[in-house]
Structure 1
Amino acid sequence: MSESAEPSPAEGSVRVVGTAHVSADSVAEVEQVIDDERPDVVAVELDEGRYRQLKGETPDNLDASDLLHGNTVFQFLAYWLLSYIQTRMGERFDIKPGADMMAAVETAESLGINVALVDRDIQVTIQRFWARMTFFEKLRMLWQLTVGLAGFGDEAEDIDMDDLTNADVVTAMMAEFRRFSPGGAEALIDERDAFIAHRLVALREQGFDVVAIVGAGHRAGILGYLENPATLPPMQSLVGVQKKRFSVYKAFGYLFTLGFLVFFILLAMAGARNGFLLSLFVAFFLINGIFSFTLAKLAGAHWSSATVGGAVAWMTSVNPLLAPGWFSGYVELRYTSVNITDIGKLNDILSDEDSPMGELWSRMKAVPLFRLILIVAMTNIGSMIASVLFAFVVLPYMAADVGGIDGVARLMVQGAENSADLILRQFT
């Protein structure tokens, strides 16, 4: 909000208008309400990044540190697919997504009214949304969204625009989402209700009369907090990214690391030939490197990016806190830059229903953001495949020299016994 706004001496007021983000009727309603009310402030359900995007400003290039860590690949996929569905809805109803918010901003500016951006940063919301969902909820959501891409246009024909702002229908849709993912609904809906309400309560307490333009799904929750501000959770609990105490992915990674170390240590303690141990390690290094390098190249990586990913794949396979795709991605960023507008380009490509799949795939790989995420993902997948093949194919083949898998098992048992004897001698 600009600093020119002067608060009233008494407590102000807040009127909450619920809209559909792809509705021409909502645009007309927003313009009419602001013109009739002439408030001190128009509050919109936008953060700084989405506001700049709607205004047509050139977004900053995305920071590599925001892309190359943790579950970024899956978060990006979820965000992109949700963005694509909203874009397709906008095409169905012949209106740009976010037109209601843009109408609010432009109407306020034309009347000399201050604008307040009251939504939480979209990156924080997506990260908290992803962290709150269970492993199986994530898989189910991504599967349903992916399957729905091809047929979404036909389903949109059955949508009644009035339903998108009808209180009963919106409530039913939110209830279904809560049934599907209670944690995800809390991050995507409830927390944002509280965050926006905090901002609106602050404006009201400063004496401003406010018209707040929000999605219809948030209206009831925000009104509840405005009527009883004492029920608002602390603002500190609504910001930042929460980390899970337990992660299936990390647990598997730690177990794999432990198993890898125990395997080689026990073989060494059993007195296995140095040549055999060296052969196992070289095989592990090569199979990880070859698969990671090959899949990175297929994803469109430069030679240096694929080489770096392949070279570190053996090490990252036994460290759950690292991934070879991060290394390939950082090197790849020497050749390209990625921008949030890349998501719009991907949406445009997917909206082309006439081009063959092969051509669409080539065009998607030409978009820097998609290619970068694909390189990261494929490098990691290559290392995962290699680790599984090493355990179930390469190891049994190489173990023939020591009596097969049974021979390896006997060596590990002997190694455990030798280790136990060594430890006992230290205390006797």
Structure 2
Amino acid sequence: MSEENITRIHLNGKEYILIGTAHVSKHSAEQVKEVIEMEKPDAVCIELDEQRYQSIMDGNRWREMDIFKVIKEKKATLLLMNLAISSFQKRMASQFGIKPGQEMIQGIESAKEIGSELVLADRDIQITFSRIWRGIGMKGKAGLLASVMGSIFSKETISEEELEKMKSQDMINSMLQEFTESFPSLKRPLIDERDQYLAQKIKDAPGKKIVAVLGAAHVPGITNEIQKEHNLEKLVEKPPKSKWPKIIGWSIPAIIIAIIAYTFFSNPEVGLQQTLSWVIWNGSLAAIGTAIALGHPLAIITAFLAAPFTSLNPFLAAGWFAGGVQAYMRKPNVADFEALADDVHSAKGFWNNKVTRILLVVVLANIGSSIGTFVGGADVIRLFFKNF
């Protein structure tokens, strides 16, 4: 049996066998099967949480999605990012003729075959996203969203030889160094904290011999972190929401309303100009965002009408209204949900599928409205100083 991509750790009378895999590598899946069958471990840990485990095991999960509930619970952006990441993995997997996550599926099947206990060792993906989202600021959010969405348009291919090289320790450390430099605020919740969580779950797994099926990027960190004790409860805490977004969210509307009200009282003509500027900038940019998403004409009109009002209320968003109208006018059917897994392979599929188009309407209408708030607000202030 080849020891390539395998790290063995002996600690406190237990043996831990870490298999560094690529999530779209056929060789990784074969190696997982070989190692588990030969080592016959007491437990097999896989880099999945409960939600992703259910997603892998239940191929029909999309049929049960309630798109109105997704919009209502403000999860459109999260779901869109999930699908974008999925599209990149699926495109890579399709290139090599295997399922994405095949090595995890193989780990699950092999564990059952030899009677090993299966341990879902990764942190809940919702918590990871939450800790990322609340820790990177507005600029980081925009950059991350652009980077992830950009992966949909990428046509880049990679050879299986290059994929195997990517699993080596030197290559992984080099990639992590580049990742840290590009997105320094992402590395901690996405890599470092999960290394700690995975290490503790692997260390706590039952039995004397443990096999862990992991993405190669996590192996160096886990090798180091498994020597320490980590508080899992602390690692799954959702960070407290910053007060600043709420303060800014209420301050901007309050300032805009106060300026327009004062201007109307002093000079009704200028006050009318300010109001029109606010309505046109907010409404137009939200409508343009909806149009870029190829939204239904009524969804575009809804975005235009809703944005000037929703921008004055932090509890509301133009995209929710536009997305709701889009979902009503172009309600997805079973075929759309069934095609979702394939349609996320390409930008064309994202725009053509009724499910992802609704998500795009929500996200792009909100982005347009947000830009409109700052541009329209700046123009309101400009007119105020110009005339007074």
2:88 to 72, 85, 89: 85
2:133 paired residue number:
130
Secondary structure at the aligned position of 1:213 is classed as: strand
1:389 Cα offset (Å): 6.5
Q: Is residue 259–residue 381 contact of structure 2 (8 Å, CA) maintained in 1?
A: no
Change (3 A) 1:184 1:310: same
Query: Which residues in structure 2 correspond to 1:163-312 (within 5 Å)?
Result: 163-204=165-206, 207=207, 209-229=209-229, 232=230, 234-243=231-240, 245=242, 253-268=249-264, 270=266, 272-273=267-268, 277=271, 281=275, 284-285=278-279, 288-289=282-283, 292=286, 296=290, 299-302=293-296, 305-306=299-300, 308-312=302-306
1:62 Cα offset (Å): 5.3
1:381 Cα offset (Å): 4.3
1:184 Cα offset (Å): 0.6
Distance 1:121 1:382 in 2: 31
Distance 1:383 1:100 in 2: 43
1:101 Cα offset (Å): 0.8
1:47 paired residue number:
49
Deviations 1:258-284 (A, max 9, x none): 3312312422554x44x7756754674
Change (3 A) 1:32 1:386: closer
Distance 1:341 1:237 in 2: 38
Counterpart code for 1:199: K
Change (3 A) 1:190 1:62: farther
1:52 Cα offset (Å): 2.6
Distance 1:157 1:38 in 2: 32
Q: Is residue 329–residue 376 contact of structure 1 (8 Å, CA) maintained in 2?
A: yes
Counterpart code for 1:61: M
Counterpart code for 2:355: L
1:98 Cα offset (Å): 0.8
1:37 Cα offset (Å): 1.9
Distance 2:371 2:182 in 1: 31
Matching of residue 370 in structure 1 with residue 356 in structure 2: yes
Q: Is residue 12–residue 203 contact of structure 1 (8 Å, CA) maintained in 2?
A: no
2:116 paired residue number:
113
Secondary structure at the aligned position of 1:224 is classed as: helix
Unpaired stretches in structure 1, ≥5 consecutive residues: 1-9, 351-359, 410-428
Distance 1:284 1:136 in 2: 24
Change (3 A) 1:68 1:238: farther
Unpaired stretches in structure 2, ≥5 consecutive residues: 1-11
Change (3 A) 1:341 1:101: farther
Counterpart code for 2:210: V
Q: Is residue 260–residue 380 contact of structure 2 (8 Å, CA) maintained in 1?
A: no
Deviations 1:123-179 (A, max 9, x none): 32223223333444444445555556555424x249623322211111221122122
Distance 1:15 1:182 in 2: 30
Deviations 1:235-294 (A, max 9, x none): 2222243255366x7676445323312312422554x44x77567546745664566456
Change (3 A) 1:37 1:237: same
1:30 Cα offset (Å): 1.0
Say which one has the larger Rg: 1
Q: Is residue 41–residue 116 contact of structure 2 (8 Å, CA) maintained in 1?
A: yes
Distance 2:324 2:216 in 1: 41
Distance 1:54 1:47 in 2: 11
Change (3 A) 1:176 1:68: farther
Counterpart code for 1:98: G
Counterpart code for 1:327: F
Distance 2:344 2:101 in 1: 15
Percent identity, aligned pairs only, is 26
Change (3 A) 1:132 1:218: same
Deviations 1:59-115 (A, max 9, x none): 141565555567953x45544443333233323433322111111111122223332
Change (3 A) 1:290 1:110: same
Secondary structure at the aligned position of 1:153 is classed as: coil
2:6 paired residue number:
none
Counterpart code for 1:326: W
Change (3 A) 1:389 1:216: closer
Count how many residue pairs are aligned between Structure 1 and Structure 2: 372
Moved more, 86-95 or 249-258: 249-258
Distance 2:180 2:380 in 1: 46
Secondary structure at the aligned position of 1:90 is classed as: helix
Q: Is residue 163–residue 169 contact of structure 1 (8 Å, CA) maintained in 2?
A: yes
Q: Is residue 285–residue 368 contact of structure 2 (8 Å, CA) maintained in 1?
A: yes
1:221 Cα offset (Å): 2.2
Matching of residue 336 in structure 1 with residue 328 in structure 2: no
Distance 1:330 1:214 in 2: 39
Secondary structure at the aligned position of 2:204 is classed as: helix
Change (3 A) 1:337 1:36: same
Moved more, 303-312 or 195-204: 303-312
Distance 2:162 2:285 in 1: 49
Moved more, 99-108 or 139-148: 139-148
Secondary structure at the aligned position of 1:160 is classed as: helix
Change (3 A) 1:175 1:298: closer
Distance 1:180 1:391 in 2: 32
Counterpart code for 1:377: V
Q: Is residue 79–residue 126 contact of structure 1 (8 Å, CA) maintained in 2?
A: no
Deviations 1:206-242 (A, max 9, x none): x46432211112123223333332xx1x222222432
